[in-house]
């Protein structure tokens, strides 16, 4: 435990991304912060105070997942969705709220005030949310209606199980993006009342 704590003492790293500086944290840092905050009772406050936008939980070290986050950011001009890394304290708390293990990073999760969507269903629901800005996303409801859920989830799992092989992964966990501050839910949001 002391070794984990010592590893978590390193500072937050940042580098320039196409939208400006993107803040990252090592996976060990995210884990330590999340362990300290997972049982936080204020998780429902993430959907109050006038902001009930759904939150997309994504694998913050996965390059494919981060590319998908960039795609949604670029095609959701009005900001219908927010983001949090699965490895963050917010992500872990929302996973637990959704009935999942807090360390389960096997699937994208779309968390709303009322429910949570997993795997292909989460992707389809995100498509529905951004379809007004992106015409091809208008096909999301049609695809969801035509493709049986077990088949869609099998295809999703095939990609998810090989996501690090496709575009690799980073040693740093993406937690925010300076160009889209209001779109990433910071761990400190669990402290707000």
At 39-84, the pLDDT tens digits run 445 888 899 878 999 999 999 999 999 999 998 998 888 899 999 9
> What secondary structure, in 3-state letters, does the chain show?
CHHHHHHCCCCCEEEEECCEEEEEEEHHHHHHHHHHHCCCCCHHHHHCCCCCCCEEEECCCEHHHHHHHHHHHHHCCCCCCEEEECCCHHHHHHHHHCCCCCCCCCCCEEECCCCEEEHHHHHHHHHHHHCCCCHHHHHHHHHHHHCCHHHHHHHHHHHHHCHHHHHCECCEEECCCHHHHHHECCHHHHCCC
Which range of 28-32, 111-115, 126-130 scores highest in mean pLDDT? It is 111-115
The mean predicted confidence, pLDDT, of the chain is: 76
At 134-145, the pLDDT tens digits run 555 556 667 777
Among 8-12, 26-30, 139-143, name the one with the lowest average pLDDT.
8-12
Whether the pLDDT of residue 158 is over 90: the answer is: yes
């Amino acid at each position: 435990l002391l070794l984990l704590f010592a590893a978590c003492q390193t500072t937050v790293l940042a580098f320039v991304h196409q939208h400006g500086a993107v803040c990252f944290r090592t996976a060990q840092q995210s884990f330590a912060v999340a362990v300290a905050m997972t049982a936080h009772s204020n998780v429902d406050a993430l959907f109050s105070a006038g902001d009930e936008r759904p939150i997309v939980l994504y694998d913050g070290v996965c390059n494919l997942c981060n590319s998908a986050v960039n795609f949604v950011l670029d095609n959701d001009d009005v900001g219908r969705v927010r983001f949090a890394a699965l490895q963050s304290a917010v992500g872990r708390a929302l996973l637990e709220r959704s009935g999942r293990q807090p360390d389960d990073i096997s699937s994208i999760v779309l968390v709303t005030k009322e429910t949570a969507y997993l795997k292909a269903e989460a992707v389809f629901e995100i498509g529905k949310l951004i379809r007004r800005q992106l015409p091809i996303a208008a096909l999301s409801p049609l695809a969801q209606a035509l493709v049986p859920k077990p088949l869609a989830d099998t295809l999703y799992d095939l990609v998810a199980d090989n996501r690090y092989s496709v575009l690799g992964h980073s040693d740093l966990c993406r937690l925010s993006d300076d160009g889209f501050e209001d779109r990433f839910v910071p761990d400190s949001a669990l402290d707000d009342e």
